[in-house]
Amino acid sequence: MLLSCATGSEQFLGSEAIATYATAKAVILPIPYEATTTYRKGCETGPAAVITASQQLEAYDEELKRETCLEVGIYTHDAIADTRQQPQLSAEEMLAVTTATVSRLIADDKFVVAVGGEHAITTGVVQAYRQALSEPFTVVQIDAHGDMRFEYEGSHHNHACVMRRVLEMGLPTLPVGIRAICREEAELIAKQQIPVIWDRDIARDPDWIEKAIAKISTEKVFLTIDVDGIDPALIPGVGTPEPGGLSWHQTLGFLRRLFQTHQVIGCDVMELAPISDSVVSEFTTAKLIYKLIGYQFIA
């Protein structure tokens, strides 16, 4: 099946970074789907804002001492499951097209960075890896919220339920930065002994990164980042900005160590909801995505 590349103005890092699908090692997959956000809305515009902001990034990474995009090759796929164009798109339709698209990218040995869009999308992304791999993997979740409700507002595919769907796939999880859960989630965490890395512990324990890494029981991991897991002073453009959160350097320190110690099979970055007259949220998110690609191939 022919995969479609975004034009230069819609290309992560801009037209100078365009790679062919055949030569690219990393693929940015925009998924501007939004249907169940419950507070501040607008995450369906997140992927486009991130791509626009990315064109202001320096190609040279001062930490890695490389021009990551030139060494790796980053291909930007056309958007899928776009509720800006298809406002009536159902969750089931979104999940089906997401799983099918990611499955094709996996088959072509691409490192996928899915960019949302609401966190419910992650179910479809993870399902593609679950189908492709015979061995188990851990889903590492950076997030302010547990997202482990069985259902919310009448939907099993609400963004507040995504990690419950992941658990139902039989996959272990490592939630990091959590600072808001409901009673149902607290009981599930206790019952299933889910190894949560609480935000309060991150703030108090200088050794939290090594302790978190030690809790991952599989060699392979999938990384899902809800950007509200990061301090809202850095990324205020989210649906529900919880006080606290990981600092920039805490985030990068954890991610670099994760990529060093485990095989990261793919990742997604979700829930950016741009704020009018401010670019800090999308610019920071774009830089985070660029760091993920650098850590995967260069660090």
- Known binding positions for Mn(2+): 119, 143, 145, 147, 226, 228
Q: Which residues fall in the annotated binding site?
A: 119, 143, 145, 147, 226, 228
Alpha-carbon torsion, ordered 136, 140, 144, 146, to 10 deg:
10
Q: What is the DSSP letter of 43?
A: G
Strand 26-31 relative to strand 111-116: parallel, antiparallel, unpaired?
Answer: parallel
Closest CA to 281 of 243, 223, 231: 231
Cα(274)–Cα(42) distance, rounded to whole angstroms? 7
Cα(163)–Cα(124) distance, rounded to whole angstroms? 12
Closest CA to 147 of 28, 18, 270: 270
Task: Assess contact for 252 and 291: CB atoms under 8 A.
Answer: yes
Task: Assess contact for 152 and 91: CB atoms under 8 A.
Answer: no
